């Protein structure tokens, strides 16, 4: 058989590239098993052109197989990288969410503390204002009482004077 001619069952050259290396090696193994043996040597006679054709087919298939293996390796690495990136993104999001919750919890605690302080201050101020208002009202009422006492004293004195004048006029008339 001449080199470069299609082997039996192998189809055309374009189809040879589709054969995988394992199938070609299996065919070579069948060739060795079916070839004539040299007695007492354990060796076999193989047509060198046929063997060279098998090697050509392997060489032709290997680049395709290697390209596919490289592509699979790159694709595997890409998928792994995407998975790692997704995991890292999820970890970052989780850390961010936990941090946000912790901050919100801290903000809530601080807001609660501040609101309690504001309420306590407001109560103190309200109590102080109430006390000051009571004191002011008491001071105003005391001043009014003093004014009214003076006015009452003036009214009493005026009435007493009127009585005295009235009594003195009545005594003069008698």
**Mean pLDDT, contiguous 10-residue spans, the chain (174 residues):** 40 46 88 89 90 86 77 91 92 88 82 91 92 91 90 90 82 71
pLDDT at 8: 43
Q: Cα–Cα distances in Å, from 93 out to 4, 82, 87?
A: 61, 16, 10
pLDDT at 29: 92
pLDDT at 14: 39
pLDDT at 78: 93
With tokens 């208002």, the residue in question is 133
Domain ranges of the chain: 13-81
pLDDT at 174: 64
pLDDT at 85: 92
Burial 118-155 (b: 16+ CB within 10 A, else e): eeeeeeeeeeeeeeeeeeeeeeeeeeeeeeeeeeeeee
pLDDT at 4: 40
- In whole angstroms, give the CA distance from residue 145 to residue 80: 95
pLDDT at 10: 40
pTM (whole model) above 0.75: no
pLDDT at 100: 82
pLDDT at 7: 42
Q: Quote the tokens at residue 32.
A: 């060795």
- In whole angstroms, give the CA distance from residue 67 to residue 73: 10
- In whole angstroms, give the CA distance from residue 57 to residue 138: 118
């Amino acid at each position: 058989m001449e080199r470069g001619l299609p082997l039996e069952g192998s189809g055309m050259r374009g189809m040879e590239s589709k054969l995988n290396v394992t199938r070609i090696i299996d065919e070579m193994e069948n060739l060795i098993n079916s070839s004539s043996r040299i007695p007492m040597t354990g060796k076999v006679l193989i047509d060198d052109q046929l063997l060279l054709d098998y090697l050509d087919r392997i060489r032709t298939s290997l680049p395709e197989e290697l390209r596919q293996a490289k592509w699979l390796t790159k694709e595997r690495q890409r998928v792994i990288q995407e998975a790692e990136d997704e995991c890292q993104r999820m970890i970052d999001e989780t850390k961010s969410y936990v941090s946000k919750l912790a901050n919100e919890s801290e903000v809530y605690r601080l807001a609660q503390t501040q609101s309690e302080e504001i309420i306590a201050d407001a109560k103190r101020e309200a109590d102080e204002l109430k006390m000051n208002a009571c004191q002011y009202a008491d001071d105003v009422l005391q001043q009014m009482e003093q004014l009214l006492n003076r006015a009452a004293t003036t009214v009493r004195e005026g009435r007493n004077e009127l009585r005295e004048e009235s009594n003195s006029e009545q005594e003069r008339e008698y």
